Homo-oligomer: A and B are copies of this chain.
Amino acid sequence: MSFSPLVEKLMESLRVLPGVGPKTAQRMALHLLERDRDGGRRLTEVLGTALERVGYCERCRTLTEEPLCTLCASARRDDSVLCVVESPADQLAIEEAGGYRGRYFVLHGHLSPLDGIGPEDIGLDQLETRVAEDGVEEVILATNPTVEGEATAHYIAAQLETHGVRLSRLAYGVPMGGELEYVDGGTLTRAFSGRLPFRGE
């Protein structure tokens, strides 16, 4: 015996959510159908709208339903410093740590040749144009301190070499092998103030 086809299909669909296995999917489906249909309908509606309308900011590529995100639209940020991060979650973590007043560029991932993810897929052509045209003086390479993040930072450093910008990399306190998103604010702030010139060795 199992649940009805449509209920089973709902459980299966819920497994697209990260960290949701069969037992959790079952609990979620039954909760929505038995106890919170209004909440379920609201989720359907908001998720549908978000998937349809949320795209990338034209300037920094973070997620937004507007052409420009609020950070890019703000006149109060320093155009001469550009921080390159892998994801919107990393960007948020840095903003929440406070202290950084420059701009951002969001890659949505890192180079991964084996998965067919090349420079254009993470917006590196757009990044180069931006650096060439927008008076950027320093690029902070804040990709994750993982093998892939390091490789991506090195690639960007080589790409931007001829543009005469200062390159730096987050330093102090960022634990090797960790992910920026989960680093606490104090550590992130120290990593910013202690950033070092990047040597694309």
Contact = CB atoms under 8 A, between A and B. Distances in A.
Contacts of A163: none
A10 interface: yes
B65 A5 contact: yes
Contact of A32 (B1, B16, B19, B37): B16
Per assembly, the copies of the chain total 2
A71 interface: yes
A18 B43 CA distance: 13
A4 B69 contact: yes
A97 B63 CA distance: 47
A42 B16 contact: yes
A186 interface: no
Interface string A27-42: 1111111101101111
Contact residues of A: prevailing secondary structure: helix
Contact of A28 (B3, B17, B36): B17
Nearest to A66: B4
Nearest to A17: B28
Closest 9 interchain pairs by CB? A16-B39, A1-B95, A4-B64, A13-B46, A10-B50, A6-B65, A13-B43, A44-B48, A18-B31
9 contacts: A5-B65, A6-B46, A6-B49, A16-B32, A16-B42, A19-B24, A37-B51, A44-B44, A48-B48
Given A4-B65, A16-B36, 10 more contacts: A1-B92, A1-B95, A6-B50, A6-B65, A16-B39, A16-B43, A18-B28, A19-B24, A19-B27, A26-B89
